[in-house]
Structure 1
């Protein structure tokens, strides 16, 4: 008997010995792959005894209702897993996590309301993911961030109302995307998706079926170029001043940074402070009332902390010292996106800077037609001479001066702006 033929028969018999009775297991001689076909068997669970060397497993068109963490524990060599047209409503976390060789998985036409998204972080070889015709209500931010080889993604015919901005940004090889027939909420949260669909090179079939389910006045309209959404990315203005010489304050320099933002919906403001000693994030105001009223009460200032943020977007840093040097960032964000402006504050020597660099203009980000990213910031050095002349904003945006009888200080600011 031919030696090659004998070897092939041996492999086939070994495969058959570990094959569940309800399945058909085949060893493919040329490719060296092994498949197990268990479709159309009225199965209610994944059968036991699947061949460990199986590279393809078909369980489609059965009555499987759930997948356990150990459902595929003996089939780590799988490259393709077909589970469409079942009744799967629950999948345990970790079910797919160890199937690191998977290239394709089809879970379409089931009853899933959720998915073990964390498992995808291990499936870095995945090229096709079909989750269509289910009841999925959300995709978590960054859910696909590890799928660098993914070519085809099917999310159509689910219950998705919103997709987080950047959902598809981490998929450099994506060539086909199905997202039609979802009940999208066409609020400003979906504005990014409208723009992405208009500009992407990814094939998106059935665009006419990517429609709005809400709000009521947009119901049924296609999420395309002709749809107008009253949304605008935030635009930030950052201005600054000092209370040095203020008759109310006798205990040191107080720096006031004011952040104002426009956009639709009205943006919220967050302050981030980064010094050598600490990193602080302040979400919204931490004090009430007007800034100038609170500064009268030094005890109240100390009780509220070093950094006071007011309802109008202002931040006050009283008794500013070398320890407070660092980067102060105002970030404005709404449902459309975010934008920020930063100022690097430092106390320096008393040498008077050149007159043409004495400026105290409001520094602003320009209105955005695309997300405002840190990489797009422009940088500008602004010198503020605080003592030999008292800065005042003139009608032309320049500075006029009055002598101050006190120690010279130079406040140096490196301003990072949205552009």
Structure 2
């Protein structure tokens, strides 16, 4: 490999004098002036490994390889184009460029056209294009998975033509092009864009040509109707368009401008099934109908699992168009909305599946899944039962040497409430009476209180009692020393007596003896 940008043995080197400046160029490069004295340099298909040096006062430079014979210029750096201060157009495509350094184009204040297509550029920032204050046309197509955001356009705000085709773009931020007030031509062809928000286009006031060919669009927002009517060219062929009521507005425009402004013959319906492969402009208006969203089924209607386990609830949805949104409502009312979104420990996938990374007591109860679009929705309830994984710690009481019957009367709406111990533990309320024979080991006992029950408080703090709509309170029960745990309503969280007062509306009481 020699130092002049050619593979060894493939080319020689010659020198060209530009107004007293020597430019060293690989053999095979062609340079000539045009009728007004502007010089053009072409070094195409030469397997270059670097940018030739000493370029001089050129107006047009073409250093591109081809799909079959790529260059191997892996990086562009500051100083590569020193001396080319009058450069008007620069093309370096098919060259396997991976990085473009800050200041690479700093001295190219007259550059109007820049083509970096079909390289492997990994990242672009505002500094990448610093100094290109007159740039009008930028082609970045074919740089797959390149990272950039709206700040990339900070120093090239007067762009008129932008090509971001074949870059494996999946989503377009609503404000990505909002700073490009002079942009007339936008090419987003051959990407993987499934949806495009109306603001992406509405934020470009001067746009005349839009190329969305070869994406994954199933529809186009009706809010773009007036904008599209004012444009010159719209290309939307090779998209899986769903020919339903939400695209009827576009079909209505066909009679007015489709044949003259759009490649209409290539616009084909992908669905519904009865219209598949039909020409979009030839489908009768009466065929553009919609089917409301429907939740066909979920894998299970009820899920029961231990606390802290991962839970996945997958459901099947249908409708035409397919539901634009899926939302899940937790038993306590908290809403998670949006496909492909994360909400803390909750995730809604693109297909609407709910993933709870670690179920907790707050997840216990009836969940509601909703499939919706602009005009209709459908709901389905899914029950989740979280099995508590912890057991309250036993508090060992100091017992009397002789078993004693212990009784305490609770006033208010409960006529009588007592805990007794005389070979049997007995819980009495105004709803039920349950009896369990004691054993030598501690055990759990669960009682569902009536919603009308209230509580009474007494000194001693030996036993905690939970009832109905009231908070936890205490009863003195002599030497029994029982410990009551409360299972809080909604969250169904078992809490010890010291925390019980913080919770209202408990659903059950658990007595641990």
* Higher relative contact order, chain-length normalized (CA < 8 Å, sep 6+): 1
TM-score under structure 2 normalisation? 0.39
TM-score under structure 1 normalisation? 0.46
- Whichever of the two has the greater Rg, that structure is 2
